[in-house]
Amino acid sequence: MDWGGQQKEVVLRAAFHTALLAATVGTCMMLTSCDLPGIGLGVEIAPIVITHPPGAPATVTLTLYIHEDSVGGPPIQSARVQGNDAVGVLFDEYTNASGYVTITGEPGTWSFTASKGGYDSASWSLAITVSSTEHASLSKQVTAVTLTLYIHEDSVSGPPIQSAWVQGNDASGVLFDEYTNSSGYVTVTGTPGTWSFTASKPGYDSNWWSQPVTSSTTEHTFLSKQVASSGHMYVTSLVNHKVVTADLSGSGPTSFSIAGCEAHGPVGIAVDPIAEKLYVSNWAESKLIMADLDGSNAQLLDFGGTLDGPNHIALDLAGGKMYVTNENSNSVTVANLDGSSAVVLTLGGTLNEPYGIAIDVPAGHMYVQNYSGPLVSVVRANLDGSSPIVMDLGGTLSNSRDICLDLVARRMYVVNTGTDSVTRANLDGTGATVLTLGGKLHLPYGLALDVAAGKMYVANYGSSNVVVADLDGGNVQVLAIGGLLDRPADIELGP
């Protein structure tokens, strides 16, 4: 029948002198006479009209491809496609070797359900008004994998470590947080792909890494056992423009100058124990100098003019980066260890006379201590300066000048120049406690931690000495460092 795109009529005409519809059991019988009341022989029955919208085709043909995971993915063979066209006519087909089905039906809104074993089913509706080709996708079902991870001491062949803390996330970002059992392992189930890990335990150096976990497997890693430091302290002496060094008991003190800090500074100091280098800041002249551990071979680093009253320095040796607080411009400069590729971060305008800075590389966070402003505080932000969070540590801070992190116990320590104390708190700012160190602090400026030995070292600006105490503030000792200090500003530990 040719619809021609116009309204047509199908007219049923019957001459009742040749036929009559019998209403008995639904059977049509041919008769020769009619005795229906009110209907004469030869009367025409009224027309029955079937219509289509002007210009619409009677039927359309859809070619539908089913792909894996996205419409740009590979086609899926033998996927089942069910549904109905615009007038409810059902279809039930399977994609061919090329991954498509061909369906003919009435134009309008069609409904579909596509499925195949090993894939998540998908249902949708779509307007099909002309013959066309369309694409859809099914997400491949992911089978979870199980990782058995052993934590060893010092090497993968070393003894297993019980109660090591293993944190991280699977390939889909789902977090895990487990402790190794008595056999030294954890069992974690998650989505296959690249997983991230952090392993730690008090008395050991933390370890963080990423690796592919694509099938259920057993892996081994290790934590290096910490040894109480047998190294040295390095203290900046502000008034006589020296760096003073001594062993951790305060004996064997020496001092030296660093070229570039003869007239001003040094203020902040950081130590690279691998390259055996010192980094010191000259606040007054907005300089940062790198030198050997004895002060020789000093080199002025070019930060592209981004330094403005540089204070304290934090090093990411694995990532090859340094972070420097700028007191005058309320910012942090991030650069390579040679000062190149410097970038200025403002941390969303949350900084006010920033002094101390510490970084938690495994968590991707920096902690910057605000000396003053409406709220003396610690600002935690991502290492790129984004998502800053201001923490007041329960109002315990007062003209704070330095901050250090204990990444094993997940705590921060902040020196308070205004109250001659140290605030200890969790890394989220909760649980703040004020430590007075037996009243031995006098305008404390700098702070360093020896986590393995359980000690803190505080540079006393007011009394030109160093105070050593346990991490809980007990067992306090005062070290004179040979009388070489004159207003110490910062302290760092190293080889």
Reported pTM: 0.63
Which residue from 83, 88, 10, 92 is spatially nearest to 52, judged by alpha carbons?
10
The pLDDT score that the predictor gives to residue 34 is 40
**Number of residues that make up the chain:** 495
Domains observed in the chain:
60-138 (2.60.40.1120), 145-223 (2.60.40.1120), 232-494 (2.120.10.30)
Residue 30: pLDDT above 60? Answer: no
- The four Cα atoms 478, 369, 381, 390 give a dihedral, to 10 degrees, of 120
Residue 138 contacts residue 155 (beta carbons within 8 Å)? no
- Mean pLDDT (the chain) is 88
Average pLDDT over residues 221-248: 88
Which of 41-50, 197-206, 268-277: highest mean pLDDT? Answer: 268-277
What pLDDT score does 56 carry? 61
| CA–CA dist 281, 263 (Å, integer) | 13
Q: How does pLDDT run across 400-452, given as a tens digit for each residue?
A: 999 999 988 889 999 999 999 999 999 999 999 999 999 999 999 999 999 88
Q: Given this model, what pLDDT does residue 50 score?
A: 45
Q: In 3-state terms, what secondary structure has residue 394? A: helix
- φ/ψ of 334, rounded to 5, equals -115, 130
3-state percent breakdown (helix, strand, coil) of the chain, nearest 5: 0, 45, 50
Identify whether the C-beta of residue 421 lies closer than 8 Å to the C-beta of residue 436. yes
How many percent of the chain have pLDDT more than 70?
Answer: 87
pLDDT in tens, 244-303: 999 999 999 999 999 999 888 899 999 998 899 999 999 999 999 999 999 999 999 999
For residue range 318-334, list pLDDT tens digits in order: 889 999 999 999 999 99
